[in-house]
Amino acid sequence: MSQISGKVVVAQSGGPTAVINQSMVGAVLESRKFSQISKVYGALNGVEGIVNEKFLDLTQATTHNLEMVANTPSSALLSSRKKPDTKYCQEIFKVLKAHDVRYFFYIGGNDSAETARIVNEEAFKASYELRVIHIPKTIDNDLKVTDHCPGYGSAAKFVSQAFSGVNLDNRSLPGVYIGVVMGRHAGFLTASSVIGKKYNDDGPHLIYLPETDFNIDTFVKDVVATYDKYGRCIVAVAEGVTDKEGTPIMVKLTNSKERDAHGNVQLSGSGALGDELANLIKNKVSKIKRVRADTFGYLQRSFLGVVSEVDQQEAREVGEKAAQFAVWDNRSGSVTIERTGDYSVDYKLTELKNVARDATCMPPEFIKGKNNVTEEFKNYVRPLIGDSASYARIYAPSVDKLL
């Protein structure tokens, strides 16, 4: 066992998920078991809380409170969109050192992994014994190495159930329905809409992913063809779809220029993409009278009460494993989930640099043409969503006409 004694700091970063607190609580409760860990601190607002020394002493939180928090969506330690550079990471390291922190667990996506990597490097350069573990989290499911990311399963469950519902709604009052789904440059979340289908003619009938190029004319043609076949059409479209040149369709149709803190085009928080796609159909296809668009927005990552059980458990486990890898194995790294069966997983630790900085997206074998997903993807995502509510149509014979 590692002989490094000192404190633990846990922090959360980026967009929240339904299960991010499971990971935090997993890391906290597991850390509290080790005698060489003197205190477990939670930094408020991610790395900003570290630099500003805003810590809560989670050693003094009750287990019941932590268990309640674990079941609460969104980052209980609050979050941050900060993408620290080397200088900022040096600040982080300075504070961690001052507090005799020997274990730093950072829950987040690829940017957080990059922060963890630099902080780890700073500690190494200073010959300060620090173990830094990145705990994966993102509804976009776009981290490298790991089979999937905690947070994704629950968001995917929300998206698939949302599409089940709007499919039933649209069946009773037919027309074209467009649902815009989060995920930035990865289509995993949009693709999960396919799990909402039960009967062969159920929607979503068209699924547009950021991994394939989106052509406006083809989109209109696809919708018309589906409408002609089923008398209605349900579309799942990723907020991050781009044209052949890589220009976001959001920018193309809306001239939106809003950028986030990282200089990326603001894709979420507005209904513009859905509305413009709906307008395209309204303006170009006169025979289709009813066109509706919803942008699922923040509901899909923070809705209270819709959570995948598997996702919840795995989020808890990656948090626990972070503490175990750091203390028992004396290692730094990023916790990954390896799929070992259908369905079983194992947790591994990979080097921080393998997950840091660059994100990934849907592999080609999950994508079918330009508007659908493969059976392979369905088998990939189903266990991550787990059991969902089902639905049924009436089975009864038609009555002969009398008039």
**Strand, coil or helix: 364:** helix
Give the integer Cα–Cα distance in Å for 221 and 184. 25
Q: Which is nearer to a second copy, 41 or 106 (CB)?
A: 41
Q: Which of residues 361-400 bind a second copy (CB under 8 A)?
A: 388-399
Query: With CB under 8 A as the contact rule, which of the stretches 186-194, 288-296, 346-354, 375-383 interacts with a second copy?
Result: 288-296
Instruction: Report the nearest approach of a second copy to the CB of residue 338 (Å).
Output: 29
Output the smallest distance, CB 316 to a second copy, in A: 16
Cβ proximity to a second copy, 213 vs 294, nearer residue: 294
Tell me if residue 140 is catalytic.
Answer: yes
- Chain residues 97-126 in contact with a second copy, contact rule CB under 8 A: 98-99
Which of residues 2, 4, 32, 81 is near a second copy by CB under 8 A? Answer: 81
Among residues 69, 86, 77, which one has the least CA distance to residue 43? Answer: 77
Tell the burial category of 181 from Cβ atoms under 10 Å away from its Cβ (0-12, 13-18, 19+): buried
CB of 83 to a second copy, least distance (A): 14
Structure tokens at 336: 């990954």
Name, in order, each residue with C-beta under 8 angstroms of 336's C-beta and a sequence gap of 6 or more. Answer: 136, 145, 146, 147, 347, 348, 349, 350, 355
> Which residue of 304, 340, 346, 375 would you call a contact of a second copy, by CB under 8 A?
304
Least distance from a second copy to the Cβ atom of residue 362, Å: 24
Provide the 10 A C-beta neighbour count for residue 304.
11
Question: Whose Cβ is closer to a second copy: residue 124's or residue 199's?
Answer: 199
Q: Which of 2, 4, 32, 54 binds a second copy (CB under 8 A)?
A: 54
Query: In whole angstroms, how close is the CB of 59 to a second copy at the nearest point?
Result: 8
| Token pair listed for 33 | 């078991």
Sign of CA dihedral 349, 351, 356, 360: negative
DSSP for 317-345? HHHHHHHHHHHTS---EEEEEEEEETTEE
Q: Which is nearer to a second copy, 244 or 401 (CB)?
A: 401
Q: Is the peptide bond before 343 cis (omega within 30 degrees of 0)?
A: yes
- Nearer Cβ to a second copy (75/146): 75
d(CA 261, CA 149): 23
Q: Which of 155, 186, 278, 323: binder of a second copy (CB under 8 A)?
A: 278
Return the residue of 269, 283, 346, 357 that touches a second copy, per CB under 8 A: 269
**Residues involved in catalysis:** 140
